[in-house]
């Protein structure tokens, strides 16, 4: 009975003591937790639209430490890592008793350390809380930290910490940084030789750095491949084959693309670790390579900028803010895609588009290119010569100044500016000035980004797209707004796609326009296919003149090279919409065969008749002509004013006969949107858009 009582008392004391120890350890664990929050300090990353790394920023300590998870690395690498470093990783709770016992016996037997007993959890503890001393007490603290970490994190989370913090020599930390630096690729797909090297380096990262100690790196990799457990993990014969693969002898630079976009992203959200952009890595690499090559040819102090956008979605897929971000002689830190400069002749297509839309001209209309005076404003051509009578098509392709100003005078500068505002683009006018004829030749300020945004409408049947800023701005269509009608857009594209490419450039099926600002300060070229728009600017950031700088000779070759190196296949230009057709001059209505102006540059007016106005159908009307039932009824057209005879056009196509009456019948080809235009004998026009139901 006494023995039983003693046993009971002893057992109770033991339980109490064990409980006290447990609660004491638990209290100590809570009071002194592992510094896991410190482990969250990683490099900020700027990613492309598909999640590929464009640029990384070093941590505050100057470390390249890219956050890495199990999902980011090759599964075979993980098998090799665990086989080499910690075979019972999934079975222990931070400390491996078998490994500790083996290491202790080997130390007693050999008088030196033969093999280590550190688990991956213990290595993580050392990485997130490094200690300079290598003492028994430091080792015991590491053991305790490993147990604490296991209590708080899953096995996968522990692996994530190791993959992020493992040292690889110099300022490289983590598997992703090492893989990018030594192999130039993300670690999602690694060869056996590459995986073995990444397993071997963290044990002695400085001694085994392949860029400094190639032989030591080869030997360390061989030791990994010779380990039986590793050989079993990679498969029969793979280890032997991997040993024959050379170790990379140098360290590569980590991706450093889209410098201006990356810096802008960091300024906007400095606390965010991963910044998603709309850029495409392949496109960005191609444009930057073109920019570097072009800068070498341009000479000192000149810079360039490029913006490539998806006209359907508004996403900026490539953006180069300067020839070289770090070149002080070119003021490379200035993002020239956001600086207002004179756009030269790049706005002319929109003037012609308005003229087509209003029925003032067709492609084969004759227009004079001779000296003209517009109330004191006397535009001259770039080469100071004049071509005489030319077609509208030739005038735009040759970028003649006088015809463009004549057309702008007819359509109205204010109307052109209103159209720009539809695309959410607001050109900057000189102080205290209203829109004048000079805007047709570049007399406004505009950024390259805004110019590309305007041209998205030309690539997208008249519908402009909002580009955003490539980072946080939301791209997309500008709902409810049309910059130009589809038929006018097609006419512009048909003309610009016929412009001869610059010398040595292949025909790529794109439409493009060039421009040179006054005084040879800016050279521009903007081109588009059926999906993408690319804009190029060349000049000096300080706005100084550059003799010989031209859009066609300087910027256009870069444009064509940019399309070629972007890696994006050419999308055919849109098919002609209903009513879009190139009409021979002999088939044009008399009023459209020649664009007539007087000496002041104004449209010729005859007599005292007011300009024609369509009174029926009204603008935007929905008219039921039985489109849903099959056969359509004719539509009666009525006008007031104007001077007979009158020429009616439906969707840009002339109706069969001239008419002296102010009424006309038109039989549509089908339902949907149609544009009706009437032109009187003085060349004055009126238009309405209607919907046939």
Report how far residue 439's alpha carbon sits from residue 424's, in angstroms, rounded to the nearest whole number.
17
Report how far residue 436's alpha carbon sits from residue 601's, in angstroms, rounded to the nearest whole number.
14
Which residue in the list 345, 517, 566, 591 is annotated as catalytic? Answer: 345
Report how far residue 566's alpha carbon sits from residue 586's, in angstroms, rounded to the nearest whole number.
43
**Tokens 């690729």 — which residue?**
185
Asked whether 526 and 455 are in contact (CB, 8 A), the reply is yes
Tokens of 438: 């000079």
Report how far residue 160's alpha carbon sits from residue 140's, in angstroms, rounded to the nearest whole number.
23
Query: Do the bridges between strand 465-466 and strand 476-477 make them parallel or antiparallel, or are there none, so unpaired?
Result: antiparallel
Tokens of 649: 């056009």
The distance between the two most distant Cα atoms of the chain, rounded to a whole number of Å, is 136
Asked whether 332 and 303 are in contact (CB, 8 A), the reply is yes
Asked whether 360 and 461 are in contact (CB, 8 A), the reply is no
Asked whether 361 and 588 are in contact (CB, 8 A), the reply is no
Examine the residue annotation and report whether 85 is marked as an active-site residue of this protein: yes
Cα 187 to the chain's mean position, in Å?
Answer: 25
Residue 129, CA distances (Å) to 116, 126, 333 in order? 19, 5, 38
Tokens of 552: 């066609």
Asked whether 208 and 223 are in contact (CB, 8 A), the reply is no
Asked whether 288 and 326 are in contact (CB, 8 A), the reply is no
Which residue in the list 85, 238, 319, 394 is annotated as catalytic? Answer: 85
Examine the residue annotation and report whether 329 is marked as an active-site residue of this protein: no
Provide the H-helix boundaries in 320-371. 348-357
Upstream peptide bond of 195 is cis (omega within 30 degrees of 0): no
Asked whether 173 and 167 are in contact (CB, 8 A), the reply is yes
Cα 105 to the chain's mean position, in Å?
Answer: 60
Report how far residue 330's alpha carbon sits from residue 657's, in angstroms, rounded to the nearest whole number.
62
Asked whether 43 and 272 are in contact (CB, 8 A), the reply is no
DSSP secondary structure string for all residues of 148-192: HHHHHS-HHHHHHHHHHH-B-STTEESHHHHHHHHHSS-TTS--H
Report how far residue 436's alpha carbon sits from residue 584's, in angstroms, rounded to the nearest whole number.
33
Vertex 608, ends 605 and 612: CA angle to 5°? 65
Provide the H-helix boundaries in 483-635. 486-496, 556-565, 590-593
**Tokens 């994530």 — which residue?**
160
Asked whether 648 and 636 are in contact (CB, 8 A), the reply is no
Crossing angle of helices 192-200 and 75-85, rounded to 10°: 40
The three-state secondary structure class of 120 is helix
Taking 3-state DSSP, the helix, strand and coil percentages for the chain, each rounded to the nearest 5, stand at 40, 15, 45
Residues noted as catalytic: 85, 345
């Amino acid at each position: 009975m006494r023995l039983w009582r003693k046993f009971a008392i002893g057992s109770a004391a033991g339980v109490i003591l064990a409980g006290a120890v447990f609660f004491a350890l638990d209290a100590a664990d809570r009071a002194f937790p592992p510094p896991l929050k410190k482990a969250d300090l990683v490099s900020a990353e700027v990613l492309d639209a598909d999640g590929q790394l464009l640029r990384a920023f070093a941590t505050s300590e100057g470390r390249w430490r890219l956050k890495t998870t199990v999902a980011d690395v090759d599964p075979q690498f993980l098998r090799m890592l665990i086989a080499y470093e910690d075979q019972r990783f999934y079975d222990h709770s931070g400390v491996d008793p078998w490994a500790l016992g083996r290491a202790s016996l080997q130390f007693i037997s050999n008088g030196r350390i033969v093999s280590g007993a550190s688990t991956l959890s213990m290595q993580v503890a050392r990485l997130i809380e490094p200690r300079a001393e290598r003492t028994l007490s430091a080792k015991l603290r590491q053991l305790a930290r490993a147990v604490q970490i296991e209590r708080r994190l899953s096995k996968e989370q522990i692996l994530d910490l190791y993959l992020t913090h493992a040292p690889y020599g110099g300022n490289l930390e983590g598997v992703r940084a090492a893989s990018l630096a030594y192999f130039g690729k993300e670690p999602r797909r690694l060869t056996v030789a590459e995986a073995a090297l990444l397993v071997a380096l963290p044990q002695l990262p400085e001694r085994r750095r392949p860029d400094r100690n190639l032989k030591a790196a080869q030997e360390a990799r061989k030791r990994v491949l010779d380990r039986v457990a590793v050989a079993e993990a990679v498969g029969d014969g793979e280890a032997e084959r991997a040993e024959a693969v050379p170790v990379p002898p140098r360290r590569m630079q980590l991706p450093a693309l889209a410098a201006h976009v990356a810096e802008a992203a960091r300024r906007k959200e400095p606390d965010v670790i991963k910044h998603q952009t709309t850029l495409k890595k392949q496109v960005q690499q191609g444009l930057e390579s073109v920019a570097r090559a072009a800068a070498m040819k341009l000479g000192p102090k000149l810079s360039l900028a490029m913006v490539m956008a998806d006209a359907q979605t508004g996403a900026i897929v490539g953006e180069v803010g300067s020839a070289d971000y770090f070149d002080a002689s070119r003021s490379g830190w200035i993002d020239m895609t956001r600086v207002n400069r004179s756009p030269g002749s790049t706005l002319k297509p929109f003037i012609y588009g308005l003229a087509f839309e209003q029925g003032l001209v067709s492609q084969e209309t004759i227009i004079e290119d001779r000296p003209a005076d517009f109330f004191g404003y006397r535009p001259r051509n770039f080469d100071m010569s004049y071509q005489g009578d030319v077609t509208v098509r030739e005038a735009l392709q040759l970028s003649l100044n006088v015809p463009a100003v004549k057309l702008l005078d007819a359509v109205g500068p204010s109307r052109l500016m209103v159209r720009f505002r539809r695309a959410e683009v607001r050109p900057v006018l000189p102080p205290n000035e209203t829109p004048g004829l000079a805007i047709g030749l570049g007399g406004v300020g505009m950024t390259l980004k805004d110019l590309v945004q305007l041209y998205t409408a030309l690539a997208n049947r008249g519908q402009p797209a909002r580009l955003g800023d490539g980072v946080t701005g939301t791209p997309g269509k500008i709902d409810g707004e049309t910059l130009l009608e589809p038929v006018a857009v097609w006419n512009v594209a048909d003309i610009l796609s016929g412009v001869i490419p610059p010398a040595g450039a292949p025909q790529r099926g794109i439409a493009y326009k060039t421009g040179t600002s006054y005084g040879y300060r800016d050279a521009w070229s903007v081109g588009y296919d059926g999906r993408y728009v690319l804009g190029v600017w060349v000049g000096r950031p300080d706005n100084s003149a550059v003799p010989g700088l031209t859009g066609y000779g300087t910027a256009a070759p870069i444009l064509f090279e940019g399309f070629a190196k972007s890696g994006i296949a050419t999308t055919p230009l849109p098919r002609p919409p209903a009513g879009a057709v190139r009409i021979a001059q002999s088939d044009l209505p008399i009023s459209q065969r020649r664009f007539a102006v007087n000496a002041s540059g104004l449209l010729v007016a005859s007599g005292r008749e007011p300009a024609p106005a369509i009174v029926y159908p009204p603008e935007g009307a929905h008219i039921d002509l039985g489109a849903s039932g099959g056969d359509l009824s004719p539509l009666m057209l009525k006008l007031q004013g104007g001077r007979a005879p009158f020429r009616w056009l439906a969707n840009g196509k002339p109706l069969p006969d001239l008419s002296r009456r102010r009424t006309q019948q038109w039989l549509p080809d089908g339902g949907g949107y149609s544009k009706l235009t009437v032109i009187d004998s003085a060349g004055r026009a009126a238009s309405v858009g209607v919907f046939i139901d």
